[in-house]
Amino acid sequence: MKIERFEDIIAWQKSKELTIQIYKLFSEIKDFGFRDQIRRASVSIMNNIAEGFERRSNKELTHFLFIAKGSCGEVRSMLLLANELNMIDQLQTSTLYLLAEEISRMLSGLIKALR
């Protein structure tokens, strides 16, 4: 199956869901620097998938998928910190952490398929 639009990429769909959940979960957090950083990191995942796809080059798509994968790591790191700082509970942490891990594995699979 040939993917025609970045919106059809499952990793993009899941990263959009992750971003929405992070925006909602951290909306009441008063540490604006932390809140804005985890939001930017989650948005970076979906936007780098989209930007790489729109470049219409496997080399560039691979480059942007690596950036998205890095942002996945940043989100996971910040989720663990948020949990340690009691900003979010263990269930919220686990749910979003597992989703970010799943996205990261998908991105790895896409990168491998493009090489």
Give the structural domain span for 65.
6-114
What is the distance between the alpha carbons of residues 42 and 44, in angstroms, rounded to a whole number? Answer: 5
Give this prediction's pTM.
Answer: 0.94
Structural domain contains residue 1 = no
Structural domain contains residue 89 = yes
What is the distance between the alpha carbons of residues 37 and 25, in angstroms, rounded to a whole number? Answer: 14
What is the distance between the alpha carbons of residues 98 and 74, in angstroms, rounded to a whole number? Answer: 14
User: Count of domains in the chain?
Assistant: 1
Structural domain contains residue 80 = yes
The average confidence (pLDDT) of the chain is 96
19 pLDDT above the threshold of 90: yes
What is the distance between the alpha carbons of residues 18 and 23, in angstroms, rounded to a whole number? Answer: 9
Structural domain contains residue 39 = yes
HEC-encoded secondary structure of the chain: CCCCCHHHCHHHHHHHHHHHHHHHHCCCCCCHHHHHHHHHHHHHHHHHHHHHHHCCCHHHHHHHHHHHHHHHHHHHHHHHHHHHCCCCCHHHHHHHHHHHHHHHHHHHHHHHHHC
Report pLDDT for 79.
98
pLDDT (tens digit per residue) in 26-79: 999 999 999 999 999 999 999 999 999 999 899 999 999 999 999 999 999 999
Structural domain contains residue 30 = yes
Report pLDDT for 1.
62
Report pLDDT for 2.
80
